[in-house]
Structure 1
């Protein structure tokens, strides 16, 4: 029996909850993976998985074995990496997940120099605004903006972006410039479509906080579309500076209520807490941490 392969397949079966999903990852068939699991259980003399027609989960003994096997497989992979010289020559695939707007607008350009520096490394970039399960979806590095993070991932802060109110000069000329936060209620306010607070906007000025009920006829679930709409004179919006700093520098947008700001938007790099981290992944994490902090609109962490 190929013990290492059986061990890896067992761990992925626990993580994915499906032998068919493991088979797809392995380029194999469900019956083959099922036989591997049965052989592993026979060798150990313990039932590791409870199977039914609709679900698969680890038995209590299987879950304990899974927790111990994590360290065993990590040590094996580390040994293989050293034997192959991979600690000096990064190689292999890195799966990266990032929010759509940030990935398209900023991250995409950062990855090209990394690929050029490490010709044996491949990157698969998936742009997705949802909070993915890193382990189940095989993600090595996930980029997430905001303060809510999954509890079971290792998070490294790469930068913090202030959030400021902005509008185009043309909009302000046509509709007037707000002088105090309450004035925003009379303006067209452009916001992200799925905000938990809806039209409620909270602004800060030192120790002072103001809550305003905004109004706007345009809501959109993409930050780049918000950026374009603000530049076109569609209204006022609260934006992280990474999204609009270049437009502020060019004069296409201007700050509104400069003494007031929203909650800052941190950016974290996430990696699975329960998976061996190859050198190629560690190098990418270090690279992105350094480069993101240098982007326009970010303060280094």
Structure 2
């Protein structure tokens, strides 16, 4: 069997989550897929696939090989582009933070599906950073600084951590002119965003921290916003999360001059000089459209 074919079968097993699924996708017999995997594992000298309760998953060695295999296959497909442009088709798995994904990535995906009828998208929304290789994801939306990695990164915007409260709360609250004044106020804290009970203010060179004694602690942002609208105190969402409320006047942005530095919004894809056509098409679409769908840098 051609060794490039072995890599394609290996990637198909990971993407399908089973030998049978890979066989159906490639229109091969299951024994042929099994033999290809066994031959590849013999060549590498390590187990590449482990079976979980739900699906086949790559081992540590398998994850490393999957990155290299996708790069090799992408380069091979790109080398044929001058002869025949590869179609934008197939399954594209994307992950994004829950709130951001609901508000901004879902409309983006809907537009993308209209543009490319042969593409199927699975959108996985989660507030924890999923492993792209282990979860077989081709694109991730990440908010905030990223650790150094082999992945490709495209910045598409910025968001800020902002201080807000309802007009009703502010009408009866003490003056708020600087971060130290927060000690006299009621606060609402999201433990998902701020596991330590402090809020940081100010950019480079003038940072300060405010210790909190919150009246209300929740674990997700929608509850924070509901409580803030109801006048329960000061809250600290990201700018895009409170944008609708600020535009409607149900929340007021406070102390903007003391806000910390902006956080980047980035698109992350596995490495390789030539991504799959559907991945490349989605990245190009997102870079163009996402900032227009969401003024994510300001509330």
Q: TM-score category by the smaller chain?
A: 0.7 to 0.9
Please give the per-residue CA displacement for 1:213-271, whole angstroms capped at 9, x wherever unaligned: 01213233322332232222222112222111222122111122232213322111000
Moved more, 89-98 or 269-278: 269-278
Structure 1 stretches lacking a partner, 5+ long: none
Evaluate the alpha carbon distance shift between residue 35 and residue 120 of structure 1 in structure 2; reply closer, same or farther with a 3 A threshold: closer
Q: Distance in 1 between matches of 2:139 and 2:48?
A: 31
- 8 Å CA contact retained: 1:162, 1:262: yes
Q: Partner of 1:23 in structure 2?
A: 19
Residue 51 of structure 1: how far off its partner (Å): 8.0
Q: Distance in 2 between matches of 1:53 and 1:266?
A: 35
Moved more, 106-115 or 25-34: 25-34
Evaluate the alpha carbon distance shift between residue 215 and residue 290 of structure 1 in structure 2; reply closer, same or farther with a 3 A threshold: farther
Q: Partner of 1:104 in structure 2?
A: 102
Q: 1:239 aligns with which of 231, 237, 240?
A: 237
Normalised by the length of structure 2, the TM-score is 0.79
Moved more, 206-215 or 77-86: 77-86
Q: Distance in 2 between matches of 1:278 and 1:294?
A: 25
Q: Partner of 2:151 in structure 1?
A: 153
Residue 278 of structure 1: how far off its partner (Å): 1.7
Q: Distance in 1 between matches of 2:94 and 2:178?
A: 42
Moved more, 166-175 or 2-11: 2-11
| RMSD (CA atoms) | 3.5
Q: Partner of 1:200 in structure 2?
A: 198
Q: Distance in 2 between matches of 1:236 and 1:108?
A: 29
Q: 2:270 aligns with which of 269, 272, 277?
A: 272
Evaluate the alpha carbon distance shift between residue 226 and residue 30 of structure 1 in structure 2; reply closer, same or farther with a 3 A threshold: farther
- 8 Å CA contact retained: 2:104, 2:294: no
Please give the per-residue CA displacement for 1:153-196, whole angstroms capped at 9, x wherever unaligned: 21111001233211100111233342221121222222221346
Q: Partner of 1:6 in structure 2?
A: 6
Normalised by the length of structure 1, the TM-score is 0.79
- 8 Å CA contact retained: 2:19, 2:34: no
- 8 Å CA contact retained: 1:187, 1:236: yes
Q: Distance in 1 between matches of 2:187 and 2:129?
A: 27
Q: 1:262 aligns with which of 253, 260, 274?
A: 260
- 8 Å CA contact retained: 2:75, 2:273: no
Residue 24 of structure 1: how far off its partner (Å): 6.2
Q: Distance in 1 between matches of 2:247 and 2:95?
A: 29
Q: Distance in 1 between matches of 2:147 and 2:245?
A: 29
Equivalent residues, number: 287
- 8 Å CA contact retained: 1:153, 1:271: yes
- 8 Å CA contact retained: 2:66, 2:133: no
